[in-house]
């Protein structure tokens, strides 16, 4: 078993969803990524788009720096990885969706249970802090308009402190030598 912190580090946010990549799942299940992908392709009807999707080239390039994947010219990943959502990771755990060659090992089954628990804990934490996030958004919306108001106040204060008026004309009688 591995630590939950390590599992969390293997969960990425792609297309607004929390996902795990096929190579990370293969490593956790102690199988080759190639075999995991073969098993998924053989059972592709059990993995709709909300369970699993292939990430785009652009998404992969932006993730490359985060996951420290080498370039394909140096023997790294040659194919775009599959991204499995929580439902996609859970799918192999249920008897109907079992990936025949991948998840028969006890290690894979235990790892799958731990992954689901981590996903569940993350979801619980997000929902627990949802109220706080909503309050912060309300405060942010209120404060956003204040920036312009504060800027206007400072402009008026500057004018009061540093009057830039031209010299006023004298009022009253003028002597002949004054202009």
pLDDT tens, residue by residue, 38-64? 888 887 888 888 888 999 888 888 777
20 phi and psi angles, rounded to 5 deg? -120, 140
Buried b / exposed e over 100-112, threshold 16 CB at 10 Å, is: eebbeeeebeebb
Considering the entire predicted model, what is its pTM? 0.57
| CB 54 within 8 Å of CB 83 | yes
Strand order of the β-sheet with 52-54 is 11-14, 17-21, 82-85, 52-54
Domain boundaries, the chain: 4-128, 132-160
What pLDDT band is residue 159 in, cutting at 50, 70 and 90? confident
What pLDDT band is residue 77 in, cutting at 50, 70 and 90? low
Q: What is the distance between the alpha carbons of residues 57 and 82, in angstroms, rounded to a whole number?
A: 12
């Amino acid at each position: 078993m591995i630590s939950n912190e390590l599992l969390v580090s293997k969960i990425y946010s792609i297309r607004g969803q929390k996902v795990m990549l096929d190579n990370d799942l293969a490593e956790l299940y102690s199988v080759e990524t190639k075999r995991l992908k073969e098993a998924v392709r053989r059972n592709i009807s059990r993995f709709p788009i909300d369970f699993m999707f292939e990430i785009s080239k652009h998404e992969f390039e932006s993730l490359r720096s985060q996951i420290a994947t080498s370039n394909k010219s140096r023997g790294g990943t040659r194919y775009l990885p599959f991204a499995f959502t929580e439902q996609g990771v859970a799918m192999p755990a249920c008897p109907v969706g079992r990936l025949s060659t991948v998840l028969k090992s006890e290690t894979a089954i235990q790892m799958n249970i731990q992954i689901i628990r981590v996903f569940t804990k993350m979801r619980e934490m997000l929902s627990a802090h949802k109220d706080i996030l909503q309050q912060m958004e309300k405060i942010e919306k209120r404060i956003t308009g204040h920036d312009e108001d504060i800027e206007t106040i400072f402009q008026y204060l500057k004018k009061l402190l540093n009057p830039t008026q031209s010299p006023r004309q004298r009022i009253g009688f003028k002597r002949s030598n004054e202009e």
